[in-house]
Amino acid sequence: MNIVKWCFSPSKPEERNFKAAIIMGLILGVVTIFVKWGAGHPIPPFLVGHQAPPVVIAHWLGLKDPMYTFLGHSLPWGMLVHGGTGISFGLFYCIFAEFFPRLRVWRGIAYGIGIAVVFHAIVVPGMGLQTFPLHDVNSVLSILSEIFSTGFTFWVCEEMNRSIRKSMGTPLPNFIDPNTSLEK
């Protein structure tokens, strides 16, 4: 069985709970915003002087003034863009995992790594927001920072998802099925 078929083996329809998935997606989407920001501080993903892609996107949309000021800190509209992507990825993760539970492999870390690689190594450079030449050590470190922080973020989300869904009495769809192992 090939890896794509293994990854996208569907769950049983009776195991799916979309109401719980949407609720969890919204909650975890908000959580991703804070975890990702926190994980990015000890190992920042951008060089000094570079603006984060969400800030650049906000500027493209004409949102250049600070969104608000708190304790003297001007906070950019890019936070809203970053928050929107966090909520979108959290919702996508929870809803899509109801259909394809193997998306949760490695407790969400694989999904986080996939998102980081697709968006920060392909989409962001493709939009001209930042380039990551692989011969440059700083670019490689930037991508590794994104991979670490996004993997960590979705690990936290999956742990919360499992715990809250268990306490709600709405278990997650099972993805351990001996009939769909990689060895076949």
DSSP letters for 28-58: HHHHHHHHHHHHHTTS-SS-TTPPPHHHHHH
- Radius of gyration of the chain from its Cα atoms, rounded to whole angstroms: 18
> What is the pLDDT at residue 175?
64
Q: Which residue's entry shows tokens 């099925």? A: 177
Question: Where do the structural domains in the chain lie, given as residue ranges?
Answer: 15-43+52-62+74-171
What pLDDT sits at residue 176? 55
The reported pLDDT for the residue numbered 100 is 92
From CA 34, how far away is CA 152, in angstroms rounded?
12
Write phi, then psi, for 131 (nearest 5 degrees).
-105, 150
Kind plus residue range of the DSSP H or E element containing 138: helix 137-168
Each residue's pLDDT, cut to its tens digit, for the chain (184 residues) gives 588 888 888 888 988 999 999 999 999 999 999 999 888 888 888 777 778 888 888 988 998 888 888 898 888 888 889 899 999 999 999 999 999 998 898 999 999 999 999 988 889 888 888 777 777 888 888 889 999 999 999 999 999 999 998 888 888 887 654 444 333 3
- Residue 84 three-state SS: helix
Q: Specify the pLDDT at position 180.
A: 42
Closest CA to 54 of 127, 114, 110: 127
- The tokens for 130 are 């930042």
Q: What is the pLDDT of residue 92?
A: 95
Query: φ and ψ at 75, to 5 degrees?
Result: -105, 125
pLDDT at residue number 182: 37
In sequence order, what E strands does the chain have?
68-70, 73-75
